[in-house]
Amino acid sequence: MSATWGNKLKITIFGESHGSCIGATIDGIEPGIKIDMDLIEKEMSRRAPGRDNLSTQRKEADKAEIISGFFNGYTTGAPLTVLIHNTDIRSKDYSDIKSIARPGHADYSANKKYNGFNDYRGSGHFSGRITAPLVFAGALAKQILKEKYIYIGSHIKSIGHIEDMKFSENDMNRYTFARLNEQRIPLINEYLRQDMESLILEIKDNGDSLGGVVECAIVGMDAGIGSPFFESVESVLSSIIFSVPAVKGLEFGAGFDICKMKGSQANDQFYYDEDSNLKTRTNHNGGINGGITNSMPIIFRVAIKPTSSIAKMQTSINMYKKENIDFKIDGRHDPIIVLRVLPVIEAVSAIAVLDMIYSENY
């Protein structure tokens, strides 16, 4: 099992959804960085379950305990290890379905991969619960990037059939990002919020779930970061974004819509503004050319699948009896993952950006 990601900044995650704790070890953080725990706790609370009726009612404080690499308020340069204890566990919800391959889950593939020894409770190491330490690591990376005037923000581009606007040039700044972070349903067009909330509650009442799209932007990146081919900016970001459970698609810039354009439309034409800063008149390529940043905002959209655990009757199999069955999942589950995945996408993006910057400096 590979649980470590990164080149110069290495993140190792550990734990299971219903184990005693989850956590991460962050290796490569330079010494002398002051950690703002209030900011980290704020980021953690954005992802935490049990905040309202739009998420699972599992309640976890997600209080981070740093046990190494941190002294007198500053990083020491040693690997930084953080623990997050699991406190609201109902493992009995899974005792009756341990032999069932839940549709949309990793039960069957994990059973085959690990010969049945994997922890099936709450999906074990496959659970979205393990994204909590990623948010801690990403919040720390965000603090470091802020000192370099690099900011990351996101909003909900769509839920079901309801579509928000895309980021415009005027939206992509630290002030807008901070405003979006305060919103339970972060939207550019705030008039859509009530419609989205009503749709989520309707789906929840029907025992079903929804998916959606998250749009993320990274601003303040200098030109020249990244490498062609295997370490392109797109490759590095994709490798960690696709590690987030429920991510099923990713597009940069105009994404698939660029295929509908002519070259004269798709090409982002360069110019110097009145302050001699290089810019492009459009940003269809999402701030990246040849796998390398061109100083324009990096823009991408992430497709999030509907929550796999739903309260409707479904068909599946009993893996041990090799029988076809009908069953319904009980327990506490999100009617939609999109709301809680935004800080996770921002976090892993911050980790990737900081790793690329560190790699440039070696």
Bind-site residues for NADP(+): 47
Q: What is the three-state SS of the chain?
A: CCCEECCCCEEEEEECCCCCEEEEEEECCCCCCECCHHHHHHHHHHHCCCCCCCCCCCCCCCCEEEEECEECCEECCCCEEEEEECCCCCCHHHHCCCCECCCCCCHHHHHHHCCCCCCCHHHHHHCHHHHHHHHHHHHHHHHHHHCCCCEEEEEEEEECCEECCCCCCCCCCHHHHHHHHCCCCCCCCHHHHHHHHHHHHHHHHCCCCECEEEEEEEECCCCCCCCCHHHCHHHHHHHHHCCCCCEEEEEECCHHHHHHCCHHHHCCCEEECCCCCEEECCCCCCCEECCEECCCCEEEEEEECCCCCCCCCEEEEECCCCEEEEECCCCCCCCECHHHHHHHHHHHHHHHHHHHHHHHCC
Contacts 24+ apart (CB under 8 A), 70-77: 70/35, 73/34, 73/35, 74/31, 74/32, 74/33, 74/34, 74/35, 75/29, 75/30, 75/31, 75/32, 75/33, 75/35, 76/31, 77/29, 77/30, 77/31, 77/32
238/257 Cα distance (integer angstroms): 19
Q: Which residue has the tokens 């704020």?
A: 42
- Known binding-site residues for FMN equal 125-127, 290, 305-309, 332
CA dihedral 106, 107, 109, 112 (to 10 degrees): 150
- Known binding-site residues equal 47, 125-127, 290, 305-309, 332
